[in-house]
Amino acid sequence: MNTLLKIQNLRASADGAQILNDVNIAIDCGETHAIMGPNGSGKSTLAHVIAGNPNYEITDGSMIYGQRSADCDLMELSPDERACAGIFLAFQYPIAIPGVPVISLIRAAYNAQNPDDKLTIAKIRKLLEAEADKLHIDKSFIDRSVNEGFSGGEKKKLEMLQMITLKPKLIILDETDSGLDVDSLQIVSEAINRYKKDNTDVGILIITHYQRILRYIKPDHVHVMKDGRIVRSGDATLAEELEKTGYRDIVKVKNQNA
């Protein structure tokens, strides 16, 4: 099985404070990994470091990404180059972009990633309307400004619309379940499962506090992060254990099992 992302001894800081401490994890094509842990453990920092958020400084380690053509060092790529290479980050709190229609944003992103197969407005509209129906999104949203006046559930569904249209290779879901009611959680989870079924070589990294999204999206591996390092790893049953015991009894270990 091909490795899609291999992170070794990754250390990162923000504003002079060390956040990630020797993180090791390898995601193979076709795998779904979940990272769980208490607030402030470094989960979202890891997601943003992978995506290339410039607010974080990498002080040690490596991130090797198996993109469509050949392996590359992620740290040599800018955030937009990482996106064009197939890395997709779904935010915990998607921001509004007044004045930028949804259709324009997704078309611009698609055409940047596919310079030899650019889509016209008519073609992208047809694609978006077909997927909007599956996500229970009103088609009028396609022409509205990105996330402006959208509910929490509508914002997360819009991110799934972007994901499905842009066809990423590595999907990072940063607390996508946050703020979703049961119906919206099911719709979002179904979209992710459908995408993975249709694209069997993708990798998924789910950042979450709770097991509830993992009831819908079955992880192959679950990792527990604490104090900026992975302290435990296991299969899906580890998430069930954490649901019962919480994080307080997690014992920090020196060696990670990623």
197 near 30, Cβ under 8 Å? no
* CATH architecture of residue range(s) 3-245: 3-Layer(aba) Sandwich (3.40)
**Residue 235 carries which side chain, given as an amino acid letter?**
D
30: its two tokens: 């076709």
- Confidence at residue 12, expressed as pLDDT on a 0 to 100 scale: 97
Q: Digits of tens for pLDDT over the chain (258 positions)?
A: 589 999 999 999 999 899 999 999 999 999 999 999 988 899 999 999 999 999 999 999 999 998 655 678 999 999 999 999 999 999 989 999 999 999 999 999 999 999 999 999 999 999 999 999 999 999 999 999 999 999 999 999 999 999 999 999 999 999 999 889 999 999 999 999 999 999 999 999 999 988 889 999 999 999 999 999 999 999 999 999 888 888 876 654 434 443
Q: How far apart are CA 257 and CA 150, in angstroms?
A: 40
How many Cα atoms sit within 13 Å of 219 on the Cβ side?
A: 28
Q: How far apart are CA 20 and CA 225, in angstroms?
A: 10
**Residue 139 carries which side chain, given as an amino acid letter?**
K
44 near 219, Cβ under 8 Å? no
- Confidence at residue 245, expressed as pLDDT on a 0 to 100 scale: 84
- Confidence at residue 250, expressed as pLDDT on a 0 to 100 scale: 65
Q: How far apart are CA 57 and CA 154, in angstroms?
A: 32
Beta bridge partners of 174: 207
**Residue 126 carries which side chain, given as an amino acid letter?**
K
* SS3 assignment for the chain: CCEEEEEEEEEEEECCEEEEEEEEEEEECCCEEEEECCCCCCHHHHHHHHHCCCCCEEEEEEEEEECCCCEEEHHHCCHHHHHHCCEEEECCCCCCEEEEEHHHHHHHHHHHHCCCCCCCHHHHHHHHHHHHHHCCCCHHHHHCEECCCCCHHHHHHHHHHHHHHHCCCEEEEECCCCCCCHHHHHHHHHHHHHHHHHCCCCEEEEECCCCHHHHCCCCCEEEEEECCEEEEEECHHHHHHHHHHCCCCCCCCCCCCC
- Confidence at residue 72, expressed as pLDDT on a 0 to 100 scale: 87
Give whole-number Cα distances, 243 to 80, 165, 226, 236, 253, in Å.
Answer: 36, 34, 16, 11, 21
Among residues 69, 149, 162, 156, the alpha carbon closest in space to that of 112 is found at: 162
Give the number of other Cβ atoms within 10 Å of residue 111's Cβ.
Answer: 14
